[in-house]
Amino acid sequence: MKFFVDTAEIDAIAELNDLGMVDGVTTNPSLIKKSGRDIIEVTKEICDLVDGPVSAEVTATDAETMIAEGRKLVEIAENIAVKVPLTWDGLKACKTLSDDGHMVNVTLCFSANQALLAAKAGATFISPFIGRLDDINLDGMELIEDIRTIYDNYGFETQILAASIRSVNHVLDSARIGADVITAPPAVIKAMVNHPLTDNGLDAFLADIKAAEIKIL
């Protein structure tokens, strides 16, 4: 499974990237706003930092302007994936940009039917939003499973990018089902290392080391 980091904070990306935990990055206007920086400037810096795809989102809602914005965004770096919404205009933009040879991430997916349309339009990535479905008492993981089944049935190459990841359990369940990619905030990725038995075991080891006065250096 590939790990994308869902942030525009350079330091957080760099820390995970140094550990080999970053296969790509997803950003959106809200994350860029939170960083307090210019969208082009921060996106270029992220692209220079990581080798994998960096999703940069259009701000328009009509196909023609989305396409124009997408073509401007891909000028930033070769690893830009243009992020478009799962609307009819977004699918039009996806088709055009994909035909141009650019990576496209179709976002805000909440149904398997939507995911099927995105694959037909040539999307590189489809981003189903797990957490937001859970928020309205629907099963986000069921959507991931449905998309996986449909894509496998017909050999679609569109990668399932599980988004709106809220917890380490979301990561685990996505991996079990077979999502190609998860995108999560740095805090969720770092939380995957935590387990109470690891902490308890380490405390016991440290106590034994102290009692035995063991030193290596």
pLDDT exceeds cutoff 80 at 41: yes
Q: Is residue 217 part of a domain?
A: no
Assess if residue 67 is contained within a domain: yes
In a domain, 110, yes or no: yes
| Backbone φ and ψ of 45, nearest 5° | -65, -40
Q: Which residues on neighbouring strands pair with residue 210, listed in sequence order?
A: none
CATH number at residue 42: 3.20.20.70
Q: Locate 213 and state its tokens.
A: 């006065």
Provide mean pLDDT across the span 176-188: 98
Residue with tokens 């609307």: 87
In the chain, the number of structural domains is 1
210 a catalytic residue: no
Q: Hey, which bits of the chain come out as E strands?
A: 2-6, 24-26, 54-57, 80-85, 103-109, 125-128, 159-162, 181-184
54-63, 155-164, 182-191, 208-217, range with the lowest pLDDT: 208-217
129: containing domain? 2-212
How far does the chain reach from its first CA to its final CA, in angstroms? Answer: 38
Q: What is the dihedral of CA 202, 167, 4, 73, to 10 degrees?
A: -140
Task: Summarize the confidence of residues 56-71 as an average pLDDT.
Answer: 97
| Residue 194 lies inside a defined structural domain of this protein | yes
Is residue 100 assigned to a domain? yes
Under 8 Å between Cβ of 95 and 117:
no
Which has the closest alpha carbon to 98: 67, 128, 129?
Answer: 67
The pTM is what? 0.94
State residue 190 phi and psi, 5-degree precision: -70, -30
Catalytic residue among 33, 72, 83, 120: 83
Q: Does residue 48 lie within any of the structural domains?
A: yes
Residue 38 has pLDDT above 90, yes or no: no
